Amino acid sequence: MLAWAGLTRSELDLSDAARVRAVIADQARPARVQGGLVVINTAAWTNVDGAESDEEGAYAVNAAGPAHLAAACAQAGAVLVHISTDYVFDGAASKPYETTDPPGPRCAYGRTKLAGEEAVLELCPGSYVVRTAWVYGRTGGNFVKTIARLARERDQLTVVADQHGSPTWSADLAAGLLDLVTAQPTPGLYHCTGGGETTWFGFARAIVGALGQDPAKVVPITTAEFPRPAARPAYSVLSQRSWQDAGLRPLRPWEDAFAAAFAEFGAELRADL
């Protein structure tokens, strides 16, 4: 029977290499009876702008931590699934990025996440690195909740319309990761996002429409009109070819996932934390 446990930072601080080795070894022993231990690493420094002023801190979480985890998993014979990001690319493409396309991060967050990918693949050759993008869920803060709050507070919202990506419902991503660890195809790099693509402007209009308001209250602006400390990729759509070639089910179109998420968890998605 499949068993799982979610560990908090206090239970497994990835900055503590010795603690990581001890916890993974402890988890691996009983897991061998059930076919082995699979570790899914969702821990990350996700404050993109904050990483610009503290790249060392972001590196400790996004690169050094995964390296500790990869080494521990390799030693314990565990399978590691490490979650990464579209920000490892420069955003200059005009078609979806393949796993074989060369990375070129434009910000500290992207650089530290790329370093984490490289460490995982080097130290734990049997691991999986799964890049995803534009994730939102029923818990925690995210773009959907922010737009829902702003739509309540303002008569007009300005949202960038020249950054392209694929919104990803966290429950769909979780289901995809379970498919991956069940099938365990060839280890390496994979892309897994919601299907299709849009812009932050297009996504915001969908959110406002779901709230029962007029999507026309969302007004498009350019990235140049909304400067941020960290550069964002203008185009970061990830191709799902690697996922499909491995025999895994691609995630449903982002519009379908968002409609289903809002229908079931509309109250939570309306609440900006």
Mean pLDDT by 10 residues, the chain (273 residues): 77 93 89 78 96 97 97 95 98 97 97 98 97 95 96 96 98 97 96 98 98 97 96 96 97 98 92 61
The pLDDT value recorded for residue 32 is: 66
- Please give the backbone phi and psi of residue 222, each rounded to the nearest 5 degrees, phi first: -95, 165
User: How many angstroms separate the first and last alpha carbons of the chain?
Assistant: 36
Within 77-194, residue ranges assigned H as helices are: 108-123, 143-153, 170-183
CATH for 17-269 (3.40.50.280, 3.30.565.10, 3.40.50.720, 3.40.50.300): 3.40.50.720
**Residue 250 to residues 42, 73, 94, 237, 262, Cα–Cα distance (Å):** 20, 27, 21, 14, 21
**Residue 88 to residues 29, 116, 238, Cα–Cα distance (Å):** 35, 11, 11
Q: Which residues are catalytic?
A: 109
The pLDDT value recorded for residue 31 is: 65
Q: Which of 84, 71, 81, 8 is nearest to 38 (CA)?
A: 81
State both tokens at 59.
């590196």
| SS3 state of residue 141 | coil
User: In which residue are the tokens 């026309």 written?
Assistant: 216
The pLDDT value recorded for residue 28 is: 87
The pLDDT value recorded for residue 6 is: 86
For the chain, domain boundaries: 17-269
CA angle 70, 75, 80 (to 5 degrees): 35
Name the CA radius of gyration of the chain, rounded: 19
